[in-house]
Chains A and B, each alone.
Chain A
Amino acid sequence: MNRFTWPLIIFVALVGLLAVGLNLNPREVPSPLIGKPAPDFKVAQLKNPEATFSPQEMRGKVWLLNVWASWCVSCREEHPVIVEYARKGLLPPVVGLDYKDKREDGLAWLSRFGDPYLLSAFDADGRVGIDYGVYGVPETYLIDKAGVIRFKQIGPITPEVMEKKILPLVKELDK
């Protein structure tokens, strides 16, 4: 032990702390909704304005709620991943939530980039988004058979997130 031992230990600890801190993504704020029942809502569907959608209709199923919008840039990055996995039949039912959008823009977006959704609910004023704590589209919620939110992805779903997080959890919840 010489006089530099302690300063060195403190320095290394500080560097370690900062390295961990800098590698965290400040945009990923843990949702307080994980493990809680998915908030209920009832809004019109995007494609069929007369029909409504409510999460209660999905009781007994494991499903994904994917929040998207035609104005959202990262959604374009994410969308092909969802389309691809849905086409292969690997995904549980995916319900879209078109968030703070114009109906015609949302419809045009779906016809241009493909529609992997069971249906899309239309959240014109963002009220549903507020209840779900949405602050950056795209966001995706995995909801179990009892209607409890089990996982939330903030930002685009990448193939890696799909393979490592969503699909294994779906398999487990589907048992």
Chain B
Amino acid sequence: MKKKLKKFLRGGAAALAALMLAHAALAKEAAPLAEDPAVEQRMVKITEELRCLVCQNESLAGSQADLAKDLREEVRGLIKAGKSDDEVREFLVSRYGDFVLYRPQVKPVTYLLWGGPFLLLIAGIVALVRYLRRRNRQLTETPLSEEERQRAEALLKDNRP
């Protein structure tokens, strides 16, 4: 009985090892190492901030669309050709427009976009202050009469444990 169990366990371990090896081999196949890690790293850094126009809600770095693959290849080429990050972005913006940038540039057409939230915040604060001031004015202080004071006293006394 013990022998059988041992054999079974040994068989299981061998199978597991084989499976892990196979998995490692597969994993290697699934993620080919880039020829130049430095180029790859810069490419990913740039394309993470760019929109894929085919799928729109995915970045150029993450999209599996054909065009995104082509553009990543293009960006790799530009980096290898010694272009700066800004030049690479400019290359794509000049072809696909500002829409490819997830972080819009600050320029006259985008002032409202960048400043809008702050304008809304200021408007909200102004409205709140005005409302509170008006309410303050309406709440005029009226002192309690002697009778009311005694009633309040009585009520409070009742509630005391």
Contacts and interface: CB of A to CB of B under 8 A. Distances in A.
Chain B, interface size category, equals: 10 to 19
What does DSSP make chain B's interface, helix, strand, loop or mixed?
Answer: helix
Contact of A30 (B56, B67, B71, B97): B97
Nearest to B65: A135
Contacts of B66: 100, 126
Contact of A130 (B71, B97, B98): B71
Contacts of B94: 32
Contacts of B67: 126, 135
A24 to B, nearest CB: 12
Interface string B89-131: 0000111111100000000000000000000000000000000
Contact of B74 (A26, A27, A130, A136): A130
Contacts, number: 36
Interface residues of A, number: 16
B90 to A, nearest CB: 11
Interface string B66-100: 11001100100000000000000000011111110
A136 B68 CA distance: 12
A132 interface: yes
Interface of B: 53-54, 56, 66-67, 70-71, 74, 93-99
Closest A-B pairs by Cβ, 6 of them: A135-B53, A133-B95, A32-B97, A29-B99, A133-B96, A126-B70
Interface of A: 26-27, 29-33, 100, 125-126, 130-133, 135-136
